[in-house]
Amino acid sequence: MKDILILHGWGSSAKNWGKIKEMLEIEGLKVFLPDLPGFGQSPPLEETWAVEDYANWVKKYCKENNLSPKGEAGEEAKPQRPQFFLMGHSFGGSIALKYSLMFPGDVKKLLLVAPAIIRVNDWKKEFMAKMAKAFNKFPFLPFHSEIRRAFYRFFVKSDYPGTKGPMRETYLKVVKQDFSNQLSSVSVPTVLIWGDKDNVTPFKFAHFVKAKIPGAELKVLEGIGHIPREEAPELFVRTILESVL
């Protein structure tokens, strides 16, 4: 049985991936799907984390769940063999990428689904963010919190107002981590899965990432946006299976 470890995106949880997990397991995969620290049923963070901290947490999770690579029994001289497929969506994609850079010997194949790994200055987003902050000066308006959150999510494309404490500082830290200059160092086989209608991690980055990661393969989900597990679960699962079977 083949093992696949799935890392969900920011604001998501293992529960949201339940249908995908079930569909993959029907096809014979063993799916590992943890709640990342600060999300789902996991306890909140007590300090600010970076993507590297999440990658180290994943390493610990792998050891605890026997996903760490093993050498041939009784033959320590033989090299260790990768044990699992690693897939990450959006923020989870940045963690998966960082993990593959830090522990390349662990991963059979890296699947990056609309990964949040390219961070560029966007004057439109900056303008919208300033507009949102200006809106904060009028907290007495009806439904202020709801409108503010919707403004960030749908116009600024940000989960910032849904965070607080260490999670808010973690969010501010991870959204500044750009991996453009590290892509050429990826040494594990890589598949990019990207919806051509994605406007959260824009599809225009897909070909850039493909060109930077040696030997990367790009699978385009036509007519799909940022969340293929909801928009086209059957197509999404079929694409995953094509990459691992």
Indicate the pairing of strand 84-89 with strand 107-113.
parallel
Q: At what angle do helices 91-102 and 51-64 cross, to 10 degrees?
A: 70
Residue 138 burial (CB count, 10 A): 10
Greater confidence (129 vs 244) lies with: 244
> What is the token pair recorded at 53?
């901290």
The pLDDT-based confidence of 134 (bands split at 50, 70, 90) is: low
Q: What is the pLDDT of residue 210?
A: 98
Identity of the amino acid at 75 = E
- Of the listed ranges 132-146, 168-182, 195-209, the one predicted with least confidence: 132-146
For 2-119+177-244, CATH gives: 3.40.50.1820
Q: What is the pLDDT of residue 142?
A: 55
pLDDT > 50? residue 85? yes
Rounded to the nearest angstrom, the gap between the alpha carbon of residue 197 and the centroid of all alpha carbons in its chain is 18
**pLDDT, tens digit, 9 for 90 and up, residues 191-236:** 999 999 999 999 999 999 999 999 999 999 999 999 999 999 999 9
- Residue pair 231/195 in contact (Cβ under 8 Å)? The answer is yes
Half-sphere exposure of 239 (CA within 13 A, CB side): 24
Q: What is the pLDDT of residue 155?
A: 44
Q: What is the pLDDT of residue 133?
A: 56
Q: Which of 3, 1, 61 is nearest to 31 (CA)?
A: 3
Domain ranges of the chain: 2-119+177-244, 124-165
